[in-house]
Amino acid sequence: MITVGVEEEYLLVDPRTGVPAPMVEDVRRTAGLEPFAERSEVQDELLQAQIEVATPVCHGLEEVGGHLLRLRHAVASAAEASGCRIAATGAAPLRGELPVPVTRTPRYLKMEGEARQLVDENLICGMHVHVGIPDAETGVAVLNRIRVWLPTLLAMSGNSPLWDGRDTGFASWRTIVFGRWPVSGPPPHFDGLADYEQRLEALVASGVIADRGQVYWQARLSDRYPTVEVRCLDVQLRADDAVMFAGIIRGLVATAIAEEKAGMPLPVVAPELVQAGNWHAARYGLNGTLVAPLGLPHSSGDVLSALLRYVTPALEDAGDLRVVGGLVHRLLQLGTPADRQRRALAEAGLPGLIDLITAAATTD
């Protein structure tokens, strides 16, 4: 069974106003004392109103879901004890009058000195899925095969429609904010592992980025683990939506490995088409068309059906088809989290929105 792990980032917000609350030190300290979370599973982030959790290595989706619920509960309880809440939203719907302080580590302080405005506006939260690979060469082959599906995954995950109290018109404003860093967006095609490594070394040698950790491609090889790391997703309102993405992405990686072993032709799609499809996915989510993997527009429902068919053999092998299929069906019925945020704001105003993004953080 191919292993999988999930990292989630949350905002810390004032429970009344929804404004980011720079309380990560208090929350992380309290969460570390919880009987349900290890200190290493709860991390700080760039800004002091962000916090991150990471599951252990998992073999099944039920295991992923259990760990996410455990960690969400632990961090949410610690936040409540500290006078704030965690919000499972891809971008802060509101920002305070003053910038949120940067977490006081040398790396983050250096980033602040080099790109102050980008750091100040980095009140965004993503979800990263790590999938185990047998070796780095295979991992690069996987990147080449799954890159065409990243816009579809992004469209499904959109959970950041609001910014500064206004509707941005985007399903994933987080993608637009994060895309302003020098190395971001869908990864290019690589001519093998040596090419991948040479490109990363050249980027660091250019001096534009400080280290390999600032290669913010939406899919990359992890430098810490023997995994492919998919990073295009907004954090999800619900833990089971996160489980859905873990299952789909593991299915994509397993399918890519099988295709590579079988010597199947690689889909050749121009990088500008993948990039354009990525922007389109961030803009519209599932409300309209998507740029399909071969670069042509199709209805979002058709593209999701094609994705599910593509990974069905891998999902069946892992025993995940029923769970993932049911969650995809629910997504098509209820819409993306961005759609749900907009409905909550329209129906119940700011209090309704705050309740959605904070209460949903602990639901399954």
Confidence of residue 41 (pLDDT cuts 50, 70, 90): confident
Yes or no: say if 173 and 337 are a contact pair by the CB < 8 Å rule.
no
* CA distances for 353 relative to 69, 73, 134, 268, 349, angstroms: 21, 20, 43, 42, 6
Average pLDDT value for residue range 125-144: 98
Q: Is 94 helix (H, G, I), strand (E, B) or coil?
A: coil
Q: Which tokens is 195 given?
A: 């090419």
Look over the chain and give the mean of its residue pLDDT values, rounded to a whole number: 94
User: Taking the alpha carbons of 219, 237, 153, 70 in that order, is the dihedral positive or negative?
Assistant: positive
**Structure letter (DSSP) for residue 47:** B
Q: Is 265 helix (H, G, I), strand (E, B) or coil?
A: coil
Q: Is 31 helix (H, G, I), strand (E, B) or coil?
A: helix
pLDDT at 35 over 90: no
Average pLDDT value for residue range 224-234: 97
> Residue 75: its pLDDT value, please?
94
**Beta strand 4-13 pairing with 85-87:** antiparallel
Element (H, E) at 86: strand 85-87
Q: For 245-270, write each residue's pLDDT tens digit.
A: 999 999 999 999 999 999 999 988 99
> Residue 32: its pLDDT value, please?
65
> Residue 267: its pLDDT value, please?
84
Distance CA 231, CA 236 (A): 13
Distance CA 126, CA 122 (A): 11
Confidence of residue 295 (pLDDT cuts 50, 70, 90): confident
Weakest-pLDDT range from 28-32, 79-83, 327-331: 28-32
Q: For 166-213, write each residue's pLDDT tens digit.
A: 999 999 999 999 999 999 999 999 999 999 999 999 999 999 999 999
Confidence of residue 31 (pLDDT cuts 50, 70, 90): confident
**Structure letter (DSSP) for residue 165:** T
pTM for the model: 0.96
Average pLDDT value for residue range 323-350: 97
**In order of start, what are the domains of the chain with their CATH numbers?**
97-362 (3.30.590.20)
Confidence of residue 34 (pLDDT cuts 50, 70, 90): low
Question: Pick from 36, 37, 42, 56: which is nearest to 10 by CA?
Answer: 42
Q: For 200-223, write each residue's pLDDT tens digit.
A: 999 999 999 999 999 999 999 999
Average pLDDT value for residue range 261-283: 95
Question: Pick from 57, 252, 58: which is nearest to 141 by CA?
Answer: 252
